[in-house]
Amino acid sequence: MLLLLITGCAGSRLPAPRGATESIGTRAQSEAFFQSALREFAAQQLEAADKLFGERQYDDARAKYEEAVKEAADVPDNSLLAEAYAQIARTYGIEGKFEDGRPWLARAKAVASPDEPMGWSRYLGVRGRFEWQDEKDNEKAKRTFIEMYEYCKQAELFSRELDAAHMVAIVGTPDEKVEWSLNAIAAAEKGGEKNWLGPLWNNLGWTYEERGEYDKMLEALLNARKYHYEAGNEHTQLVADFGVARAYWRNADLTESRKCLDDARNRALQRHEADPEDTEKGEWVGWGHVYLGDLLVSEDKPAEALQHFKLGRPYLIKSGIENWWPEGLKELDDKIAKLENTGGE
């Protein structure tokens, strides 16, 4: 149907035959309808790509974003084009392929404009993520995310305003992380954005762990699990259960920690066995071993703990931890070295 409409409208772009009665106004209306149809089709491609991205099907999403680029190239404004370019860069960034992503981010920068809110806000969100993960410059990324937050608040782009606050909470100082997480949670609750509440409470919980506030960590991660089970998926629910197990361990409740951890580890193993090439699924097998190792240390079983630390490490290496959390890898290696130096005793 769309092809027929576009074909019909495209004909209206040709000069009218001599003697034709079509008015200039009619031709202008046909041209406007043609441009509207092009824009709608490009927007549908972008929406389909976003859906795949949300499902973590990054290769398929990238292919669909590339289709959106082709369609958006003929649209008079650049908003859809900027969004598609930026998201192609983001799919590469998520995979740690920053060199492949940078040219696409540069293309987004070239066409994005503050006068086109959807394209500009998407560009800022991806630029900030590259500054954070590729350039390793948290201060620079924080400035970009604050700029995005203020821009989206002014433009009333509610979901993207939340995304910006969420990212400030990730890259900021410990005090800023708490402040921005609580601001974002309050906004999400006010707006009924249940999809956001799980990730926001989750990140706040891990921030409390960094600060050594373990009672608040447990409260936050229990809230995260609640919302992930209401609005999340199998993956986010699994991660939430691992978080709760970790929080119980931090609060010295080893019985509850083991109960949650054993269940989460079994599910992680099942998911990995069903799709062994998925490094994200393998990553959580790795964390399952690491968290169990920590629990075993608390149970005064260092030899078993050392075994699980060593079992978990290759999964995390395969998932690319050296790129996205080298400090976490060093912490694990320090644990292994300490137990090896004491003979696992």
| Predicted confidence (pLDDT) per residue in 71-120, tens digit | 898 888 999 999 999 999 999 999 989 999 999 999 999 999 999 999 99
Element (H, E) at 74: none
The tokens 């078993």 sit on which residue?
304
Say if CB 203 and CB 166 are below 8 A apart: yes
Give me the pLDDT at residue 345, please: 60
- Give the model's pLDDT for residue 29: 62
Instruction: Say how far apart CA 205 and CA 61 lie, in whole Å.
Output: 30
- Residue 108 near residue 101, CB atoms below 8 Å: no
Token pair belonging to 197: 């509440």
270 falls within a domain: yes
Q: Phi/psi at 74 (nearest 5 deg)?
A: -95, 0
What pLDDT does residue 54 have?
87
- What's this model's pTM, rounded to 2 decimal places? 0.69
133, 138, 208, 90 alpha-carbon torsion, rounded to 10°: -30
Tell me if 79 is assigned to some domain. no
For 220, the token pair is 């936050």
Q: What is the pLDDT of residue 189?
A: 86
Q: What is residue 28's predicted lDDT score, i.e. its pLDDT?
A: 56
Say what the pLDDT of residue 344 is.
61
- Burial category of 1 from C-beta neighbours within 10 Å (exposed 0-12, middle 13-18, buried 19 and up): exposed
* Residues of the chain under the 50 pLDDT cut: 1-20
Rounded Cα gap, residues 110 and 258, in angstroms: 52
In a domain, 28, yes or no: no
Rounded Cα distance between 280 and 149, Å, is 29
Helix, strand, coil percentages (3-state) for the chain, rounded to 5, are: 80, 0, 20
pLDDT for 191 equals: 77
> Exposed, middle or buried by CB within 10 Å (0-12, 13-18, 19+), for 109?
middle
CA dist 238 and 263 (Å) reads 9
Report the C-alpha gap between 75 and 91 in whole angstroms: 23
Range of the domain at 285: 233-345
Say if 163 falls within a structural domain: no
Domain count, the chain: 1
Examine residue 210 and state whether it is found in any structural domain, yes or no. Answer: no
CA separation for the pair 300, 85 (Å, rounded): 52
Residue 309: which CATH number? 1.10.3450
pLDDT at 41: 84
Q: What is the pLDDT of residue 7?
A: 33
Residue 91 is predicted with a pLDDT of: 97
In degrees to the nearest 10, what's the CA dihedral of 222, 223, 226, 231?
Answer: -140
Residue 18 lies in a domain: no
Q: How far is CA 154 from CA 54, 149, 179, 302, in A?
A: 26, 9, 20, 55
- Please report whether residue 247 resides in a domain: yes
* 60 belongs to a structural domain: no
CA distance between the termini of the chain: 72
Phi-psi label, residue 131: left if phi above 0, alpha if psi -120 to 50, beta otherwise: alpha
